[in-house]
């Protein structure tokens, strides 16, 4: 059960691929697991967010379960934390509407992720949903009175918007309307880069050769790391500015080995890039082996997985229902006669 005296963490990942990637794991998921001992954690498969890129319905259905199984395989403990599917708790969309009505159009237009994604999709693929993504994300966070949001660096601007909206709610409708959240970003792994384009972040929808998927086979992992773009230099040193490809490999190595990138660079000083790549591939394969096995176990029993998600939905709905009732009432909306008390 959730302990209300502890601080609360909320975060989510979109089910936009069959497998999460190393950036999702090192930037977010690993922190989620670590936070469970000290925070009340609420983690969601954010399928409504995935709709913004028009997924195939059958693929989305499969990926929701696959994503939940990967959260569990990484160490999200459903006895300790709330694990649920976003679309099963309607208060996310209800609160989004309220927040839409206090968000400036100009303010939403400044979101760089919308600019990047809409540039990739072109005029025909850009929907109002994609534009509104950050407001839905603010609703996700505020609906759980979250104190902290463990995410990668790419989400910083969205968390800033969530903070601004919470502060605005409190100034318009009185202190205590919303809790003001903070981003929790692990600096060393805040941004894992694409292996083929070390200036772009590793992304589920990026080119496959640039991604290490958590469910990739050892053979694929070795191939991806061996063909990772490095630099024209030959000396292994920690120099992210001038050697971004090498720095990305050192950062991944360091994160998995529990070292600093400088220490790893020192260890490989005088060796060839190829040595580092061979050892890194081995390190990644061994780190992901148990993860792959546990994911397969969870996916082998869909009824048990659905049961866990249903238990999570009940717990999530209880929190979000009470918080939504509190915020809606401050807006002046008339509560349903039989609605429970506001939080």
27 or 321, CB closer to ligand AQP?
Answer: 27
Strand, coil or helix: 82: strand
The window from 14-22, 159-167, 236-244, 264-272 that contacts ligand AQP (CB under 6 A) reads 14-22
Q: Which two tokens stand for residue 107?
A: 């303010």
112 binds ligand AQP (CB under 6 A): no
Q: Give the shortest CB-225-to-ligand AQP separation in angstroms.
A: 16
Residue 342 C-beta: closest distance to ligand AQP, Å: 30
Q: Is residue 23 near ligand AQP by the rule CB under 6 A?
A: yes
Q: Cβ-closest residue to ligand AQP?
A: 27
CB 154 to ligand AQP: min, Å: 5
Q: Which of 115, 124, 199, 201 is catalytic?
A: 201
117 is catalytic: yes
Q: Does 83 bind ligand AQP (CB under 6 A)?
A: no
How far from each other are the two terminal CA atoms of the chain, in whole angstroms? 17
Segments in the chain forming alpha helices (H): 22-24, 30-35, 47-50, 57-74, 91-100, 105-109, 112-121, 128-142, 156-173, 218-226, 244-257, 261-267, 273-299, 302-331
Q: Determine if 27 is a binding residue for ligand AQP (CB under 6 A).
A: yes
**Does 204 qualify as catalytic in the annotation?**
yes
Question: Is 204 within 8 Å of 21 (Cβ atoms)?
Answer: yes
Of the two residues 49 and 313, which places its CB atom closer to ligand AQP in the complex?
A: 49
Contact code string over 179-218 relative to ligand AQP, x by CB under 6 A: ------------xx--------xxxxx-------------
Q: How many whole angstroms separate alpha carbon 95 and alpha carbon 142? A: 9
Q: Indicate if 124 belongs to the active site.
A: no
SS3 of 191-224: the string is CCECCCCCCCECCCCCCHHHCCECCCCHHHHHHH
Return phi, psi of residue 194, to 5°: -60, 135
For residue 104, the SS3 value is coil
Question: How many CB atoms neighbour CB 155 within 10 A?
Answer: 21
With contacts defined by CB under 6 A, how many residues of the chain interact with ligand AQP? 19
State the minimum distance, in angstroms, from the CB of residue 155 to ligand AQP. 4
Nearer to ligand AQP, 113 or 170 (CB): 113
Longest distance between any two alpha carbons in the chain, whole Å: 74
Beta-sheet strand order (sheet of 82-85): 82-85, 40-45, 8-13, 148-150, 182-184
Which is nearest to 149 in space by CA: 184, 178, 180, 179? 184
Which lies closer to ligand AQP via its Cβ, residue 75 or residue 322? 75
Measure CA 63 to chain center: 15
In the complex, minimum distance from the CB of residue 295 to ligand AQP, in angstroms, rounded to a whole number: 16
CA distance 16 to 254: 27
Q: Is 332 left (phi over 0), alpha (psi -120 to 50) or beta?
A: left
Kindly state whether residue 156 participates in binding ligand AQP, applying the rule CB under 6 A: no
Query: For ligand AQP, which residue of 28, 130, 166, 246 counts as binding (CB under 6 A)?
Result: 28
Q: Which of 8, 9, 16, 247 binds ligand AQP (CB under 6 A)?
A: 16
CB nearer to ligand AQP: pick between 92 and 204: 204
What's the closest the beta carbon of residue 151 comes to ligand AQP, in angstroms?
3
Q: Which residues form the catalytic set? A: 117, 201, 204
Judged by the rule CB under 6 A, the positions of this chain that interact with ligand AQP are 13-14, 16, 21, 23-24, 27-28, 151-152, 154-155, 191-192, 201-205
């Amino acid at each position: 059960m959730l302990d209300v005296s502890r601080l609360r963490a909320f975060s989510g990942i979109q089910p936009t691929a069959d497998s999460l990637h190393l950036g999702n794991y090192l930037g977010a998921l690993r922190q989620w697991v670590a936070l469970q001992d000290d925070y009340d954690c609420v983690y969601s498969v954010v399928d409504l967010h995935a709709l913004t890129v028009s997924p195939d319905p059958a693929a989305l259905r499969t990926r929701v379960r696959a994503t939940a199984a990967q959260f569990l395989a990484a160490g999200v403990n459903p006895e300790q934390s709330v694990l649920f599917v976003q679309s099963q708790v309607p208060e996310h969309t209800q609160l989004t509407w309220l927040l839409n009505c206090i968000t400036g159009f100009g303010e939403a237009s400044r979101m760089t992720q919308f600019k990047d994604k809409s540039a990739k999709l072109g005029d025909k693929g850009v929907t109002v949903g994609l534009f509104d993504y950050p407001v839905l994300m603010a609703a996700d966070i505020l609906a759980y009175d979250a104190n902290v949001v463990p995410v990668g660096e790419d989400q910083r601007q969205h968390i800033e918007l969530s903070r601004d909206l919470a502060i605005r709610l409190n100034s318009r409708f009185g202190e205590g309307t919303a809790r003001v959240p903070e981003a929790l970003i692990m600096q060393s792994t805040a941004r894992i880069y694409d292996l083929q384009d070390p200036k772009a972040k590793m992304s589920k929808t990026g080119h496959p050769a640039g991604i290490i998927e958590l469910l990739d086979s050892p053979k694929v992992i070795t191939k991806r790391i061996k063909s990772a773009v490095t630099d024209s230099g030959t000396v292994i040193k920690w120099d992210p500015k001038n050697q971004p490809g090498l720095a990305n490999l050192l950062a991944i190595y360091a994160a998995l080995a529990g070292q600093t990138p400088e220490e790893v660079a020192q260890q490989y000083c005088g060796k060839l890039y190829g040595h580092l790549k061979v050892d890194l591939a081995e390190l990644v394969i061994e780190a992901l082996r148990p993860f792959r096995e546990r994911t397969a176990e969870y996916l082998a029993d869909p009824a048990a997985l659905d049961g866990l998600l249903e238990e999570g939905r009940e717990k999530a709905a209880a929190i979000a229902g009470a918080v939504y009732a509190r915020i809606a009432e401050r807006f002046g909306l008339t509560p349903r006669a039989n609605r429970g008390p506001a939080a």
